[in-house]
């Protein structure tokens, strides 16, 4: 399988090269040239598979011989052995047709463990085989950073630098990053917001002159194709458990950067019978505005009770646009160049295609807290604020009563105690056993100005020989 850029000018790469590349050389994002598809009979047979076996089935065509099947199976088995629930991604019923898919049983209590535990092991495997060293640079609005550090900390061939907005992530999120010990791990608190952090990462990939000549730069944000690939699996896992292929399933996805819900779009295109994908946003509602107004423009970032979604530029939306515009890389490059200058309007043909599968909702903090309280009152199930946004959006999407609606529960509520208190609940939300001493562990973090040169200078000075 080959991977091509959404902007049409970068060379096509195989899986291994895409894994180590991140952004394409033309500034685009890599996507598969073609998608594997599964027949109804093949999807039906997935019901007998446990999560690692299903992951092997879904992921193998994307890897396409770059890693031998036996080695890939061992990597996948090792990845999901780290999860604390034997089902890996258990489904919990909230109402007769409302479900949550619990994606927070990994080491850092967030859905990003599904991809980043796998990504770290894939990188370890490939770099060791190549006898190569790389630098990882990533931006996080909360959960990506801790999942990336946890997934990559064991790899001696990696120096990892994670940027987060100073004092703009929850205390649990921050400590999950800053308490991990390792000479190769660097947490950078940037005196700005997430979009500033993400812009620095993109600028660094565009100009890597600050790096030693023998070091590549690897992305761990969802611009890295391997992240998206790993997330496709749990859509199949949930839908099959609820009756696919004989029965369609709808999914509501709390999303800021569009990576997680794009994986659902790919699952649909691979043959999974998906009725609808609901884009659930907080007040930073760029994706909701795109779907309802057919236009996109920047607005000031607002800080919310769901900080992992406090994003005003959704990087992975470019991957969907590529399909909506008939995979015309020049058209995508032109659109995004105009977005850099201001507002862009999308064609009605493209937006009609999007609306045939996607709908959206914007949920503010007050509604988020109300949903946490209502769900607790109805069934004594405690949602984190991101998952609450997903549940609220699912309830307002107008999906038929005979279609099961699965909300992706993207984080453990213990990571966001302020939201639980804001819901008026007196429940004490304890951290799982492996994190009970989190607040006693020493932290390591460097606070840096919102300045690209300062960040790149720090990185250059801290890359190990």
Residue from 112, 133, 248, 415 carrying the catalytic annotation: 112
Alpha-carbon distance 239 to 95, whole Å? 17
pLDDT of the residue at 417? 87
In a domain, 218, yes or no: no
Q: Render pLDDT for 204-228 as a digit per residue (tens, 0 to 9).
A: 988 999 999 999 999 888 889 999 9
- The DSSP bridge pattern shows strands 91-95 and 98-102 to be antiparallel
Rg value, the chain, Cα: 21
Structural domain total, the chain: 1
* Residues 423 and 376: beta-carbon distance below 8 Å: yes
pLDDT of the residue at 421? 86
Beta-ladder partners of 166: none
List of E strands, 315-454: 344-345, 358-362, 405-409, 446-448
Q: What is the DSSP-derived secondary structure letter of residue 124?
A: H
Q: Which whole-number Å values give the CA distances from 307 to 72, 100, 436, in the listed order?
A: 34, 20, 22
* Residues 114 and 76: beta-carbon distance below 8 Å: no
- CA-closest candidate to residue 229, choices 57, 26, 73: 57
In a domain, 334, yes or no: yes
In a domain, 48, yes or no: no
pLDDT of the residue at 326? 98
pLDDT of the residue at 210? 97
Instruction: For helices 348-355 and 286-293, give the axis angle rounded to 10 degrees.
Output: 110
Alpha-carbon distance 371 to 349, whole Å? 35
In a domain, 75, yes or no: no
In a domain, 394, yes or no: yes
Domain extent at residue 271:
84-106+225-422
In a domain, 428, yes or no: no
Q: Render pLDDT for 22-68 as a digit per residue (tens, 0 to 9).
A: 789 999 999 999 999 999 999 999 999 999 999 999 999 999 989 99
Alpha-carbon distance 325 to 331, whole Å? 7
Give the CATH number for residue 353: 3.40.50.1100
Q: Which whole-number Å values give the CA distances from 409 to 77, 99, 146, 177, 398, in the listed order?
A: 23, 9, 18, 21, 20
Residues of the chain where predicted confidence (pLDDT) is lower than 70: none
pLDDT of the residue at 60? 98
In a domain, 444, yes or no: no
Beta-ladder partners of 351: none
112 is catalytic: yes
In a domain, 332, yes or no: yes
- The DSSP bridge pattern shows strands 358-362 and 91-95 to be unpaired
Alpha-carbon distance 307 to 13, whole Å? 34
């Amino acid at each position: 399988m080959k991977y091509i850029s959404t902007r049409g000018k970068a060379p096509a790469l195989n899986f291994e090269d895409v894994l180590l590349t991140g952004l394409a050389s033309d500034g685009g994002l890599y996507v598969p040239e073609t998608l594997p598809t599964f027949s109804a009979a093949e999807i039906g047979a997935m019901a007998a598979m446990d999560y690692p076996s299903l992951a092997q089935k879904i992921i193998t065509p994307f890897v396409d011989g770059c890693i031998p099947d036996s080695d890939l199976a061992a990597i996948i088995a090792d990845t999901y052995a780290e999860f604390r629930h034997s089902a890996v991604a258990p489904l919990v019923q909230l109402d007769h047709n409302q479900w949550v898919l619990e994606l927070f049983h990994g080491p850092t209590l967030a859905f990003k463990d599904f991809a980043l535990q796998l990504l770290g092991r894939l990188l370890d495997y490939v770099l060791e085989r190549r006898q190569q060293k790389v630098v990882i640079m990533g931006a996080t609005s909360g959960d990506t950073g801790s999942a990336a550090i946890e997934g990559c900390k064991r790899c001696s061939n990696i120096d990892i630098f994670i940027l987060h907005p100073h004092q703009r992530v929850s205390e649990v999120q921050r400590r999950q990053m800053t308490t991990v010990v390792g000479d190769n791990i660097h947490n950078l608190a940037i005196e700005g917001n997430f979009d500033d952090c993400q812009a620095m990462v993109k600028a660094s990939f565009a100009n890597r002159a600050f790096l030693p000549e023998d070091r590549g730069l690897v992305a761990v944000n969802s611009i890295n194709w391997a992240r998206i690939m790993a997330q496709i699996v749990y859509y199949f896992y949930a839908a099959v458990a609820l009756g696919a292929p004989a029965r369609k399933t709808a999914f509501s996805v709390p999303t800021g950067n569009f990576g997680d819900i794009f994986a659902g779009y790919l699952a649909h295109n691979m043959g999974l019978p998906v009725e609808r994908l609901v884009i659930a946003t907080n007040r930073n509602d760029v994706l909701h505005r795109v779907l309802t107004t057919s236009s996109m423009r920047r607005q000031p970032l607002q800080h919310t009770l769901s900080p992992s979604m406090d994003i005003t530029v959704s990087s992975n939306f470019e991957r969907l646009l590529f399909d909506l515009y008939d995979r015309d890389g020049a058209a995508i490059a032109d659109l995004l160049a105009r977005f850099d200058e201001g507002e862009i309007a999308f064609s009605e043909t493209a937006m009609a295609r999007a609306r045939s599968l996607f709908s959206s909702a914007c949920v503010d903090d007050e509604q988020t807290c109300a949903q946490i309280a209502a769900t607790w009152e109805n069934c004594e199930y405690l949602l984190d604020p991101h998952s609450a946004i997903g549940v609220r959006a699912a309830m307002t999407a107008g999906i038929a009563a005979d279609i099961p609606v699965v909300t992706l529960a993207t984080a453990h509520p213990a990571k966001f105690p302020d939201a639980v208190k804001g819901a008026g609940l007196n429940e004490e939300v304890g951290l799982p056993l492996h994190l009970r001493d989190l607040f006693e562990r020493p932290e390591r973090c460097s606070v840096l100005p919102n300045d690209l040169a300062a960040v790149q200078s720090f990185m250059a000075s801290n890359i190990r020989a």
